[in-house]
Structure formats: structure tokens, C-alpha cells
Amino acid sequence: GAVVSQHPSWVICKSGTSVKIECRSLDFQATTMFWYRQFPKQSLMLMATSNEGSKATYEQGVEKDKFLINHASLTLSTLTVTSAHPEDSSFYICSAPGQPGELFFGEGSRLTVL
Amino acid sequence: QKEVEQNSGPLSVPEGAIASLNCTYSDRGSQSFFWYRQYSGKSPELIMSIYSNGDKEDGRFTAQLNKASQYVSLLIRDSQPSDSATYLCAVNDYKLSFGAGTTVTVRA
């Protein structure tokens, strides 16, 4: 199957700083990528859809000014958590679509905000 | 009402037994259904997809779909300790909606 690589796999930062997470499709081009967030013992919640060359589409309740998404090329999407706070600590996962409904997930990035 | 609901578990089964996982969904127009496996601290991986009513078998896994009852299930036969994970049911309308997951523990 297709490979999606995510970096960093874990990051610890101080409250108020910004953190950038990269998601790359290694062996295919992805015009669309999805960013999910997962809190402990909860399901994956879609945050936004990243669209190459255009603005991301955010889900209801997700602050677009706090979670900046850039999809500048067909193989790279980035999520920047700005002015991070402890409540932003979570597991962030990117994915790219394959066959209808099938998603190829990155390895995930665990963010801890102190 | 949540879009996708799963029996919360945790589900503990002895090695070699059958693990049965259930999922219901609210949108009657949904057409695509998926089961993902997620090991602790890892990303989900797709193990089964099903689109038509009935059963679909892949190795030790069998997915069952009943659109009239808005119900999809996953059976794991001859359960192994390596099957211990959280299983996520997902439904694709325009975008995937995930259930909260059922944690399965296979006892050796």
C-alpha cells in the first residue's frame, strides 16, 4: 500500500510556543490529506481537510487560526499548532486517501504541551 | 446522536476463541464500511472493507453488513495475542466517520 510519513513522531513543547508537524506521501501524489486528532481512549476526530494549492477546509469547532494547515506540494502537508496550550496535547495523525473510503495513515505525532 | 457507535468493551477472549465486534451507524445512506485496527500508540491500519450486504471473509477476519439494520460487525476467528488492539469501525459518507473503538485483549 501507499506510504505516508509523519514527522516528528513525538514532541514536547512549552505552553505558548508553536509546533509544526509534517506529513509526506512518499510514493504517490496526494492532492488531499486529512488531519485527525485523537485524545486518549477516544476516537479519531477529523480536524481539517488539506487541499493542495488551496485553503484547507476545517471541521466545525476547529480554530483555523490556531491550527494552520499548508499543502504547498502534492507530497507535503503541514499542520502548525500555534500558541500551544496543555489542552492541545494529543495524538495528531495525518492521512491520504486511496481507494474510496480507504485511508493511508501516517505514523502519528504525539504532542505534549507543558 | 453519534454517527458511528461501537460496543465499548473492553472485550477479553481466550486465545483461539472468536472475538465478535459490533458497530451501528446512523446515516441510512452510507455505502462504505471499514474496520481499522489500532495498536496502542500507533496509527490505525485498515483490515477490512465491506460495501454489500452479507459476509466478507479475509483470512481469520469476517465482516458482516446489514444495511437494513444499519449494522456492521467484525469476527476474529482463532484469536491470537497479536490481535490484542483497539478496533475502529468507520463509515464513509463524504468523509470517514470513526466509532470510539472496541479494545480487544486476547488472553494466552
Q: How high is the pLDDT of residue B2?
A: 58
- Bond prior to A86 in cis (omega within 30° of 0): no
In this complex, do B49 and A103 lie within 8 Å of one another by their Cβ atoms?
A: no
CA dist., res. B47 & res. A61, Å (int): 30
**What pLDDT does residue A36 have?**
95
pLDDT > 60? residue B100? yes
Pairwise CA distance, residues A100 & B7, whole Å: 26
Residue pLDDT, tens place only, B25-59: 998 888 899 999 999 989 999 899 999 999 999 99
Residue A27 DSSP symbol: S
Report residue B83: phi and psi, to 5°: -80, -10
Strand runs labelled E in A14-89 = 19-25, 32-38, 45-51, 57-58, 67-73, 76-81
Asked if residue A1 has pLDDT above 70, the reply is no
Report the pLDDT value the prediction gives residue B20, as an integer from 0 to 100: 96
Q: How far is CA A108 from CA A97, A104, B15, B79, B81, in A?
A: 16, 12, 30, 27, 24
Task: Tell me how far apart the alpha carbons of residues B82 and A13 are, in angstroms, rounded to a whole number.
Answer: 34
The region that residue B67 occupies, defined by phi over 0 for left and psi between -120 and 50 for alpha, beta otherwise, is: alpha
**Matching residue, cell 476463541:** B17
**CB contact (8 A) between residue A46 and residue B46:** no
Which residues does B contribute to its contact with A (CB < 8 Å)? 32, 34, 41-46, 49, 88, 90, 92, 95-96, 98-101
Please list, in sequence order, all residues whose beta carbon lies within 8 angstroms of the beta carbon of residue A101, skipping any fewer than 6 positions away.
B32, B34, B49, B90, B92, B96
Residue of B nearest to A99 (CA): B49
Q: What is the pLDDT of residues A19-74, one digit of tens each?
A: 999 999 998 888 999 999 999 888 899 999 999 988 999 999 999 999 999 998 99
Percent of chain B with pLDDT over 70: 96
Q: Is pLDDT at A102 greater than 80 in this prediction?
A: no
B32 with A101: Cβ contact below 8 A: yes
| Per-residue cell: A95 | 492521512
Which tens digit of pLDDT belongs to each residue from A2-14? 789 999 999 999 9
Report whether pLDDT(B1) > 60.
Answer: no
What integer pLDDT is reported at residue B35 of this predicted model?
Answer: 95
Are A95 and A103 in contact, with CB atoms under 8 Å apart?
Answer: yes
